[in-house]
Amino acid sequence: MSMRSKGETWLEANECAARIGLSKRALRLYEERGLIRPRRTDKGWRLYGADEIARLHEILALKRLGLSLQRITALLHGKALDLSGVLGIQHSLLSEQRERAEQGLALVRAAQAKLAAGTSLSPDELIKLAKEAIMTQTTTDSIAWRRYEQARPRAESKIDPSRFARCTGFYRHPAGLVMTVSLEGDRFFLQVSGQPKVELFAESDRNFFLKVVPAQLTFTPGDDGDVDALVLHQGGHDTVATRIDEVEARRLSEELGERVRSRVPHPRSEATLRELIEQQQNGSMPFELLSEELAELVREQLPIVSAELESKGDLRELGFRRVAEDGVDIYEVQFAQGSLQCGIGFGEDDRVHTLWMMPA
């Protein structure tokens, strides 16, 4: 049975559960965990309005993404409803799952066709199938949970700027970039090599967030109590940058500046970019060449990028153009049916941390 009050529709527990496809027991469980707070009538009947139903969608969307009820409770406890945010994350992750499934199905169909034709599979093809089997077994729980948490609205807290002073200084990102954290009056700032300075906003003495992108920073103290690292939370991943002194920061900045001025590419950038393009055209990817964060993004986009590169035809020529301010090597890539501008950047582990392409 539904009721209307001041233009709003309220559903009793039976109807709410039936229309959504839940049991009344599930509704009671979510209420016991503090996830929903239905309105009560004078007789004690529970009523569910738009806010409660939106929260139920939020819970069910996170369950669909693989999160346990315990994690959902921890994630949503005390947080305001953010239906727009959960819809965005739900859309993104369902798209990733679809693309990954399409990639796996393409590999399986190709293997089935070869076997049907009486041809055996090569060791390389069997390895790809084995990797795909492992990928389909892995859960997106941890990455989904982090992405969702990172995308939620943050509440700014006022802190004594003098307490932020211990966080200021220079940090070395695994991609070889310098992250400069500074205090200007009572405002906090972050600047990464080759990027504009952005303001940081405090959640606590150790936790800060950006408004320009859904990302946060956590400053971590060492055994002596001094801050010796920061953790960048972005895109579902946590990246640790270690503190360095001003001399080291200046050296890294000067080396990058010299590369930019002298137009000196990374010694492996051309050969690696060629290999990555050729393999993507074939629908595969040497993920071992990529950082963990980049590999995750490439897996999501591989079917789309492979189709785009395949439409360009044979790879003809890679022409180096310049080194960008952030240390990424820029190439003009000529194909039989057009051209693209591509960027590739390496980290301190000698793996690719940046890879992008766009119309030339």
pLDDT in the model for residue 131: 60
Q: What is the percent of the chain with per-residue pLDDT over 70, rounded to a whole number? A: 82
pLDDT in the model for residue 88: 67
pLDDT in the model for residue 26: 84
pLDDT in the model for residue 65: 64
Residue 43 phi/psi, 5° resolution? -90, 5
Label residue 187 by pLDDT band (50, 70, 90).
very high
Who wins on pLDDT, 109 or 66? 109
pLDDT in the model for residue 137: 42
- What distances in angstroms separate CA 286 from CA 65, 121, 289, 302, 342, one per listed residue? 27, 19, 6, 12, 17
Who wins on pLDDT, 134 or 233? 233
pLDDT in the model for residue 144: 64
Question: What pTM did the predictor assign?
Answer: 0.61
Q: Give whichever of 62-76, 162-176, 258-272, 281-295 has the largest mean pLDDT.
A: 258-272
pLDDT in the model for residue 270: 96
pLDDT in tens, 110-140: 778 788 888 887 777 776 666 665 554 444 4
pLDDT in tens, 207-216: 999 999 889 9
pLDDT in the model for residue 139: 44
pLDDT in tens, 301-343: 788 888 888 889 999 999 999 999 999 999 999 999 999 999 9
Q: What is the percent of the chain with per-residue pLDDT over 90, rounded to a whole number? A: 36
* 278, 285 contact by CB (below 8 A): no
Q: What is the mean pLDDT of residues 183-201?
A: 94
- What distances in angstroms separate CA 212 from CA 53, 147, 151, 234, one per listed residue? 30, 16, 12, 12
Average pLDDT of the chain? 83
Residue-range domains of the chain with CATH: 1-153 (1.10.1660.10), 161-260 (2.40.128.50), 263-359 (3.10.450.590)
* 180, 172 contact by CB (below 8 A): no
* 308, 175 contact by CB (below 8 A): no
Label residue 89 by pLDDT band (50, 70, 90).
low
Residue 69 reports pLDDT greater than 90: no
pLDDT in the model for residue 180: 97
Q: What is the mean pLDDT of residues 219-233?
A: 84
